[in-house]
Amino acid sequence: MIDSNPTNGPCGCAGCTCRKPIDDQTGFQVGEGFQRFNQKHDQFNRSLWDPTVRSDKVRRFFESYYTDKASFRKVEGFQHRDYALRNASWYVADFTADLLETSHDRKEGFLDTYTLFREGATVQKLDSTPAENSAELKRAARFLGADLVGICEYDERWVYTHNYSRRDDREKPIDLPSDLPYVVVLANAMDHDTIQTVPSALSGAATGQGYSKDIIALLSTAQYIRNLGYRAVASLNDTALSIPLAIQAGLGEYGRHGLLITPEFGPRVRIAKIFTDLPLEPDQPIHFGVREFCGICRKCAKGCPPKAIADGEPSAEPHTISNLVGVTKWTVNAEKCFGFWANQGTDCSICIRVCPYNKDFSKWYYRLGRRLAGTRLRRLLLWLDDALKFGQRRTAGWWWGRA
Ligand code: SF4
Ligand code: SF4
């Protein structure tokens, strides 16, 4: 499946060979038939134009983010207070996304890059090396709210072929300059305890809060780069696939559930990225045993109600048009996954809750467990995870009732 021809690949990226040396470190096998992703095919966008996805349940799912239109239930986790908190947690993300949608057809952060910046410096800071710039940038980004920061080289394979306008239901050209050689990848942790209550509307607050924190760190860090006199294009879910860039930037490994697994927060992160020409020193991908652990663990696949997660070996076969084509990896069936979200009226993170890497790694014994999970003792660690009943659901009442 590997493309050994060093000329342009079938993806059509200028000078791209589809397969790159960094793939040996990330574990993504990019092969013949690889195609860059078109954002129009994203599962959420399909719910606007694809009759096989559109339904009353899907409409009600999106409407529930306006609290007056949510269908409150008596069961814990789906009551008025749960939707009120979930929707409040999305406030920063929603506000910035809605700001220019009607007037400029830009849904920033979800369909378009951010343009909400002040003027930067007109003079470039030139008195430091790429290594010094990288160290200072990481220091600044953490100060500005990022939990994790990594740097990789620009990789056109993960940039969408098109953006998508939900306002006008049309494809739009990508507005990313092609001469920005580095990508700064930021990640922010999602709350551990609310995730324990998945499935619930309450647990959706972890997602919204993660995005909102990410946006503050992202916009502030991009402004810092602009204030150094360099270009910085800030992107959240729009414009490019975040997970491969995060892995190439050394933030973590790829899990069976299709998510980034970081050493610090496991799969409990939201990701953002900045494309820039600030001279930087890229990081290297890391390996702490996730691939091997996922090979023996299937907790996410077993726990997923609609069985959207692969329980076999990595494969290049896409399930639907919402999957990437030509990359051998574990792939989630986005139609099944989103169908479950629509049915229950909120997003789902069961695969995050049950993942053995979903621990509070500020505690030494979990860090020790994580280290052992990367060794031949992984089966013992998996057994312990079951025996100690990690990943079990807690009630929303437990969360609300705590001091
Ligand atoms: S979010 Fe829920 S439905 Fe989707 S893959 Fe994870 S467990 Fe399955
Ligand atoms: S639950 Fe297990 S198989 Fe799934 S991503 Fe986490 S470690 Fe891997």
Q: With respect to residue 12, please indicate whether it lies within any of the assigned structural domains.
A: no
**The two three-digit tokens of residue 177, written as one number:** 């300059």
* pLDDT of the residue at 11: 53
| Protein residue with least CA distance to atom 7, ligand 2 | 294
Q: With respect to residue 4, please indicate whether it lies within any of the assigned structural domains.
A: no
| Protein residue with least CA distance to atom 3, ligand 1 | 337
| Protein residue with least CA distance to atom 2, ligand 2 | 297
First to last CA, the chain: 55
How far is ligand 2, taken at its centre, from the CA of residue 285, in Å?
19
- Cβ count near 118 (within 10 Å): 7
Residue range(s) defining the domain that contains residue 149? 23-401
Return d(Cα 289, Cα 127) in angstroms, integer: 39
The predicted model scores a pTM of 0.94
Q: With respect to residue 16, please indicate whether it lies within any of the assigned structural domains.
A: no
**The two three-digit tokens of residue 79, written as one number:** 């009551």
Return d(Cα 392, Cα 326) in angstroms, integer: 35
Q: What average pLDDT values come out for the chain (403 residues) when binned by 10 residues?
A: 39 64 91 92 95 95 96 95 97 96 96 95 96 98 98 97 95 93 98 96 97 97 98 97 98 98 98 98 98 97 97 94 95 96 94 97 96 97 96 96 78
Q: Based on the number of CB atoms within 10 Å of its own CB, is 7 exposed (0-12), middle (13-18) or buried (19 or more)?
A: exposed
In ligand 2, the atom with minimum distance to the C-alpha of 301 is 4
In ligand 2, the atom with minimum distance to the C-alpha of 257 is 5
* pLDDT of the residue at 18: 84
* pLDDT of the residue at 107: 97
Q: With respect to residue 15, please indicate whether it lies within any of the assigned structural domains.
A: no
| Cα distances (angstroms) measured from residue 45 to each of 36, 50, 335, 338 | 17, 8, 12, 12
* pLDDT of the residue at 32: 79
Tally of domains in the chain: 1
Q: Name the closest ligand to CA 359.
A: 2
Return d(Cα 248, Cα 67) in angstroms, integer: 39
How far is ligand 1, taken at its centre, from the CA of residue 293, in Å?
19
How far is ligand 1, taken at its centre, from the CA of residue 168, in Å?
30
How many residues are present in the chain?
A: 403
Q: With respect to residue 282, please indicate whether it lies within any of the assigned structural domains.
A: yes
Residue 328 φ/ψ, nearest 5 degrees: -80, 115
Q: With respect to residue 214, please indicate whether it lies within any of the assigned structural domains.
A: yes
Q: With respect to residue 238, please indicate whether it lies within any of the assigned structural domains.
A: yes
Q: With respect to residue 283, please indicate whether it lies within any of the assigned structural domains.
A: yes
How far is ligand 1, taken at its centre, from the CA of residue 7, in Å?
38
Return d(Cα 176, Cα 320) in angstroms, integer: 27
